[in-house]
Chain A
């Protein structure tokens, strides 16, 4: 594997007996065309779906421009989060400081929109020029009487994963600032961002089971719900990479228990519902969950069989942000006859990779923080038919003549839940079987 940088050899492994433990949590090698992003990016994507808050980006224009309406996190109400607000720092601000500009911008915004809270993101440069963002936030909070929360997210302080942590800390400042009567058997949904309306599918399931959903963090999120989040009986955490930190902090301070779930694929989705019923030790809830799962599966399986018959033997390469999602994808693909031959993530932990290794067939390539050169070699070596990834991987997959499924910000159909499993099967089928791949070679 000469195309793998020497320094990266240990971040790649092959599933099978005696496979070495993969190294991860490493900083990207400078010069490597890494698919990773920065702290700001991580905090921004996590907080972005809170729809009734202001999101003001304190920095030069780029950071605001590139995160303007970038993920399809749908709102059932306010649309404030889809606008792009920036202090647009100029050279004079870099020299004389941007504090006044930040203050003025905040006042202008709060006066115009009366938001429930404001998040102020600091970017790379703000830390270096020494603006006291905390002080401005405190001052505006006092003047305008809404929570004004600094999100200290200079990009250079780490990778996207570190940004998730920063976002969790920002949210944690809100938790516990309200105390509303809340049903005992209630949950907070952590780590679903309502891409393509996925959260709404989950809400429907939980409603059918008789579970009260207290706060959704952060998909279709509301400040008032988050402030009261400590009153839920349980935190149900998906996409653990981004939200586990918040769950841990809430457990420590408020004693709120948490569990990790995944909503992708039939197995994991059903477990997510059963686990909640089991947690509340409620037979009625469990019976309703069983009924729901039974109904959904008996409707879904015959339809999936059609796809499985046609897709069996196809091979998939997975390269996604979080490893937990990759695990669900391996299982979901298996359900429709597709074998995962490459499984990688940008931010997986050693435990995640061990789990993947156990789950996958022998010979599967497992990789942490990969790059386009490696990925294109892997897919050739393993004869993959389909690639599952994000925006930067799509055109590469297409150039090689592979089908592609976006399992990231750009998904257009919900992929969560039973309905999502159906959409996923359709999408994989449509792309894997597209006639276009027959024409990629010149006559």
Chain B
């Protein structure tokens, strides 16, 4: 067994993290930056950081991931990274010609105390930033927060640098997308379109990380929120943030800077969260929810009722990020399932407040976020009492195999199965997609291992 080292007895750990359910800030900043058209993310640190983030994102999306690095040397770590970043900015505009360079820091550049604003000003004074082009930055020390924090920081930086309020308000709703797949964003945009609501989504990875194969390599694929749209976002009449951990800071920034009021709601995973999203959009865009969407909801409810006997009381273990875990847990509970173990490496007040409420009728549920809320701990819980289903990123596959437990892949990273960037988990259709995968996984196992005489044609 691959995880033969996991013991059922929980070891009291005060320092050690084993098999993390999180990663570091910079990769989140890199991912967020890819949701803006013509943007080249830049990692201000050693070149390994950049290589790791590009590899991790490449493995997940199976798409080319472009980003620059300051390639720190021994010298930079003593004298600071100014020379490297100024040269990097020059090189990138000369060779790769992006619209904007989105710089994020690393643990190293943060600890040696590089002043990003000063360095970027220096690059500008030196004439390294061509007219009409921009360099923005956010601070992403790896020893604070997690990948989720980095995503939030980069989105906030785009608002801070580009959103502009003019006297002319537009009848548009900003949709700030939390950490989700391009497919999830596409589905949310489709819902808005069906409602005939005018929306502006940022960041927007559709057309970037689900780009078609047409025989050409494009450094900047055609998707992504344009900088022009980002400027206009300051004139929108309202902002809806999808996912508190990844979008609230950007919403607040938008309100402070451009006086655009906002509401932060859950990422629309499951029918309740989708209901809330549609109602919020309906209210703020002042459009009705059309019958077409009521029908989609009805289809989902129909599917749930058809599957209810397979779902009732099933014990589920989940791991991932607070923004997706909260609505996902709510969805499972609303279908009479029992999410009993939930971990997230990301410390989150949102998680800590919502989970006890959602799980109030499941007293056996254990949930934990923050330091040492890792996959090893969750496996120990599972060893104590097993579950019927696992939902989370690829790092769950070892547990799935060792414990022979059905497994649905959801979250980041998914490095061993394709398609997650094409098939959504948001909206009613996404919920139906997710539900089908869950039932398939559980019934596939039943059909495989049940006694021969119990195999039945109809289930």
Contact = CB atoms under 8 A, between A and B. Distances in A.
Q: Do A and B come from one complex?
A: yes
Interface of A: 3, 5, 27-41, 59-68, 79-80, 82-91, 93-94, 100-105, 108-109, 112-113, 123-125, 127-129, 154-160, 372-373, 376, 391-392, 394-396, 398-401, 440-442
A372 B66 contact: yes
B62 A395 contact: yes
6 contacts: A30-B70, A36-B47, A103-B15, A154-B46, A156-B74, A372-B219
Nearest to B52: A66
Contacts of B112: 128
Given A31-B95, A38-B47, A67-B52, 15 more contacts: A29-B91, A30-B88, A31-B91, A33-B67, A33-B68, A37-B47, A41-B51, A59-B107, A65-B22, A83-B18, A124-B108, A125-B108, A373-B219, A391-B58, A398-B213
Contacts of B219: 372-373
A88 B71 contact: no
Contact of B46 (A33, A38, A64): A38
Given A124-B107, A128-B112, A395-B64, A61 B23 contact: yes
A36 B76 CA distance: 18
Contacts of B4: 79
Nearest to B108: A124
Interface string B380-402: 00000000000000010010000
Contact of A396 (B18, B74, B141, B217): B217
A62 B147 CA distance: 9
Interface in B1-47: 1-5, 7, 11, 13-20, 22-27, 42, 45-47
A112 B108 contact: no
B17 A85 contact: yes
Contact of B11 (A87, A94, A108, A127): A108
A404 to B, nearest CB: 11
B215 A401 contact: yes
A277 B32 CA distance: 57
B33 to A, nearest CB: 14
The 5 residue pairs across chains A and B that have the minimum distance between CB atoms: A38-B48, A62-B24, A31-B88, A31-B91, A155-B46
B77 A62 contact: no
Contacts of B211: 399
For A33, A93, A160, the residue with the greatest tally of chain B CB atoms inside 10 Å of its CB is A33
Contacts of A154: 46, 77
A64 B5 contact: no
Given A30-B91, A399-B217, A400-B217, A41 B106 contact: no
Contacts of B371: 88, 90
B66 A37 contact: no
A441 B48 contact: no
Contacts of A93: 143
B65 A392 contact: yes
Given A37-B47, A41-B48, A372-B64, A440 B214 contact: yes
Contacts of A3: 95
B362 interface: no
B443 interface: no
A360 to B, nearest CB: 24
Given A32-B68, A124-B108, A83 B19 contact: yes
A391 B106 contact: no
Contacts of B173: none
Nearest to B63: A395
A112 B64 contact: no
Contacts of A109: 16
A316 B61 CA distance: 25
A88 B20 contact: yes
Most B C-beta atoms less than 10 A away, residue of A67, A89, A129, A156: A156
A440 B62 CA distance: 17
A124 B376 CA distance: 26
B72 interface: yes
A29 B211 CA distance: 29
Nearest to B7: A112
Contacts of B63: 395
Contacts of B24: 60-63, 65
B153 to A, nearest CB: 15
B192 interface: no
B345 A61 contact: yes
Given A61-B22, A128-B77, A392-B55, A33 B11 contact: no
A5 B95 contact: yes
Interface hub of A3, A32, A41, A372 (most chain B Cβ within 10 A): A32
A64 B3 CA distance: 17
A399 B15 contact: no
Given A79-B4, A91-B141, A31 B20 contact: no
B335 interface: no
Most chain A CB inside 10 Å of its own CB: which residue of B91, B141, B214, B217: B217
A91 B25 CA distance: 13
A108 B11 CA distance: 9
A400 B211 CA distance: 12
Nearest to A103: B15
B54 interface: yes
A376 to B, nearest CB: 5
A442 B214 contact: yes
A84 B374 CA distance: 10
Nearest to A108: B16
A28 B65 CA distance: 18
B146 interface: yes
Given A41-B52, A85-B16, A400-B215, A127 B66 contact: no
Contacts of A441: 214-215
Interface in B104-126: 106-108, 111-112
B90 interface: yes
A156 B64 contact: no
Contact of B89 (A31, A60, A65, A112): A31
A108 B47 contact: no
A443 to B, nearest CB: 12
Nearest to B19: A84
A83 B4 CA distance: 11
Contacts of B51: 34-38, 41, 392
A401 B20 contact: no
B299 interface: no
Nearest to B26: A62
A30 B58 CA distance: 21
B214 A68 contact: no
A34 B87 contact: no
Given A83-B5, A391-B59, A441-B215, A373 B95 contact: yes
B142 interface: yes
Contacts of B49: 38, 62, 155
B96 interface: yes
Given A38-B47, A61-B22, A112 B69 contact: no
